[in-house]
Amino acid sequence: MTQALVDIDNLSISFPALHGDTPLVRGLSLSIQPGECVALVGESGSGKSLTARSLLGLAGDGAVVKARTLQIAGRDALTFTEQDWRQIRGRWAGLVMQDALVSLDPLRTIGQEAGEVLTVHDLLKSSREVEQRVVEVFAQVGIPEARERAGQYAHQLSGGLRQRALIGAAIAGEPSLIIADEPTTALDVTVQQQVIAVLADRVARGAGLLIISHDLALVAQIADRVYVMHNGVVVDSGPVAQVLTRPRHDYTRQLLAATPSEQSRGTRLSSARVLPAADETQPLRIERSALPSRHIDRQQVVLHVDNISKHYRRGGFGRRKESFTALHSASFSVHKGEVLGIVGESGSGKTTCANIVLGLLEPDSGSVQLLGQPWSQVPEAQRRPWRRQMQYIPQDPLSSFDPRYSVLQIIAENLHAQDRQRERVTALLTQVGLNGAYLDRHPRSLSGGQRQRIAIARALAAEPALIICDEPVSALDVYVQAQVLDLISELQAERGIALLFISHDLEVIRHVSDRVLVFHQGEVVEHGTVQQVFDAPQHPYTQRLLSAQPTVAASPACA
């Protein structure tokens, strides 16, 4: 019998100094064979990432790791020294983290970052061989113009390109085990498919893959076996088809029910209740309550974008800088109470467009109007009185918050008047499902879902006409995502706010949007209602985008 790459029996991980004797992971047993993909799913804080990090000796300072068996590469990892772990990392096991911007060294190019494992472990001798391997692996993970990109720094790349660079760095040394923690969170579906194909190819060639993801459709596509974690315990496990189509545990059923789909449109995702099926061969039957109705005022244009374009100059090492078109002649409008969704692959111009709309970038041509007033073509001093009317909910709220500020200070910054701050901020927190107990806490002490709720409260404090949502739920687990999407929809209906909603998750866009713009290579290639774009796509790129969207094999039915 082939020796397992990882063999764990009754794993327990605790932090006595912080949490006493209560383990954050307990009783976990799993194995990973060569040529096998194993998935860990579950909500934020369930112990997935902590489990994965323990396989690299990175559980953290103060961690106490116990197990009946913890074998890595056929050796007893409970006896490993730091030197043993260093030999494992990079060469035998590659790690892909979720936050590429934090994981990549800002002082080194992504080419240098990916080449490090090849030089540190003496896998290749000459710098020319290292460079060639880096370019080759970057091309494999879908980085266009790989040689030029290798000479760029993380801050010069889009989120999707950074994530692909991180994946390239993890597989450059052809490790026996790849640990991928939310590896496709920042990627659109077409690039996601490229990356999954690369990881699947490594598995087909004998590598093991441990993938952590809140994307159940992605797990259904690549995993052989899946473990569902809840509060540090595995509550469901088995072959992926069995767990995701005939789940045994109520928590697994709830995760599947909270996933957005064509059937969930117009309903509260977090209200989903799983009904008994006639027999085990039938798909899940789900009952959801309706969202409040929204009124779209087609006579009131909140945002009007007219033929905006943006060009940059770029180049790699030893290369002459060339002009690059990030956005070309984009035009659209958003009406009061409307949700306009924007989709497109990384580098398609979505973020450039959002930055121009926000007034953070000057367009090279074209114009933007907010509530009928000039916006893009005026100095900041003239824009400032109108800034309250346009708010922003980012993908990563933590990086947008001042870490020195309390929740009270973060939200109060956006209030019209400064009197009765605690009372007014408490009311806003109540609206987003929190309470006054959070007022004096700081961002780092909050979960991802709590931070996102505070970002929403901060946006609402200004009483805006328009909120730009840039991937607001892509980093959240399924159930927290459902709660945040419900919250945004309910508050929007109550206040009549217009939304510009940017996401690479097509099912999220289908669930929340009225109309959709499809961006490709800096241009709007398709525009229409959700039904038109999703049911009868006209442009070949839109058709390719929709065909690449993974789905859970047996979609839950709606009662």
What is the pLDDT, as a whole number, of residue 248? Answer: 85
Strands 177-181 and 93-96: parallel
- Angstrom CA distances, 66 to 27, 277, 528, 543, stand at 10, 40, 56, 50
Q: HSE-up of 456 (CA within 13 Å, CB side)?
A: 29
Kindly indicate the confidence band of residue 556, based on its pLDDT and cuts at 50, 70 and 90: very low
pLDDT-derived band at 557, boundaries 50, 70, 90:
very low
Between CA 31 and CA 54 the distance in angstroms is 14
Label residue 467 left, alpha or beta by phi (over 0 means left) and psi (-120 to 50 means alpha): beta
So what's the pLDDT on residue 189?
83
Instruction: Spell out a b/e string for 304-313, using b for 16 or more CB atoms within 10 Å of the CB, else e.
Output: bbbebbbeee
Transcribe 43-80 into DSSP letters.
Answer: -TTSSHHHHHHHTTT-S-TT-EEE-SEEEETTEEGGG-
Q: Residues 6 or more apart from 228 whose CB is under 8 A from it?
A: 41, 42, 234, 235, 236, 237, 243, 247, 249, 251, 252, 255
DSSP designation for 526: E
Phi, psi (deg, nearest 5) at residue 459: -65, -40
What is d(CA 212, CA 159) in angstroms, rounded to the nearest whole number? 19
Q: How confident is the model at residue 156 (pLDDT cuts 50, 70, 90)?
A: confident
453 pLDDT above the threshold of 70? yes
- pLDDT band of residue 317 (cuts 50, 70, 90) is very low
Q: For the stretch 36-59, what's the b/e string if a residue is b when 16 or more beta carbons lie within 10 angstroms of its beta carbon?
A: bbbbbbbbbbbbbbbbbbbbbbeb
Average pLDDT of span 83-105: 86
Number of other residues whose CB lies within 10 A of the CB of residue 65: 17
Starting at the earlier edge strand, list the strands of the sheet with 365-370: 322-336, 297-314, 365-370, 373-374
pLDDT category at 130 given cuts 50, 70, 90 is: very high
Confidence grade of residue 261 (pLDDT, cut at 50, 70, 90): confident
Confidence band, pLDDT 50/70/90 cuts, at residue 318: very low
Residue 499 vs residues 252, 335, 343, 371, 506: alpha-carbon distances, Å: 32, 9, 14, 14, 16
Quote the DSSP letter at residue 160. Answer: H
Kindly report, residue by residue over 216-226, the tens digit of the pLDDT: 888 999 999 99
Does pLDDT of 44 surpass 50? Answer: yes
Q: Note the pLDDT of residue 193.
A: 83
How far apart are alpha carbons 398 and 103 in whole angstroms? 15
**pLDDT at residue 166 is higher than 50:** yes
How far is 339 from 516, CA to CA, in rounded Å? 9
Q: Determine contact, residues 202/171, Cβ cutoff 8 Å.
A: yes
pLDDT of amino acid 279: 66
Instruction: Give 455 or 184, the one with higher predicted confidence.
Output: 455
> What is the phi/psi pair of residue 165, to 5°?
-60, -40
Q: Which has the closest alpha carbon to 33: 242, 210, 241, 235?
A: 210
b/e 358-387 (16+ beta carbons within 10 angstroms → b):
bbebebeebbbbbbeeebbeeeeeebeebb
Tally of helices (H runs) and strands (E runs) in the chain:
22, 24
In the structure, what pLDDT confidence band is assigned to residue 373 with cuts at 50, 70 and 90? very high
Euclidean distance between CA atoms 144 and 314, whole angstroms? 14
In the predicted model, what is the mean pLDDT of residues 420-431? 92
Q: What percent of the chain has pLDDT over 70?
A: 95
Q: Is the pLDDT of residue 559 over 60?
A: no
Mean pLDDT of all residues in 96-124: 87
Section 139-143 average pLDDT:
87
Task: Quote the strand ranges of 245-321, DSSP E.
Answer: 273-275, 285-287, 297-314
Q: Which pLDDT score, from 0 to 100, does residue 280 have? A: 64
Are 550 and 200 in contact by the 8 Å Cβ rule? The answer is no
CA distance 32 to 107: 35
Given a cut of 90, whether residue 111 has pLDDT beyond it is yes
Query: Is the pLDDT reported for residue 558 higher than 70?
Result: no
The H or E element spanning position 265 is none
**Residue 53 in this model has a pLDDT that exceeds 70:** yes
Higher pLDDT, 315 or 473: 473
Asked whether residue 534 carries a pLDDT value surpassing 50, the answer given is yes
- Residue 38 phi, psi dihedral angles, 5° rounding: -115, 135
Q: Given pLDDT bands bounded at 50, 70 and 90, which one contains residue 233?
A: very high
For 172-216, how does the pLDDT look when each residue is reduced to its tens digit (9 = 90+)? 999 999 999 988 876 778 778 888 888 898 899 999 999 998 888
| DSSP code per residue over 307-344 | EEEEEEEE--TT---EEEEEEEEEEEEEEET-EEEEEE
CA distance 382 to 32: 60
> What mean pLDDT, rounded, does the chain reach?
89
User: What homologous superfamily does CATH list for 297-558?
Assistant: P-loop containing nucleotide triphosphate hydrolases (3.40.50.300)
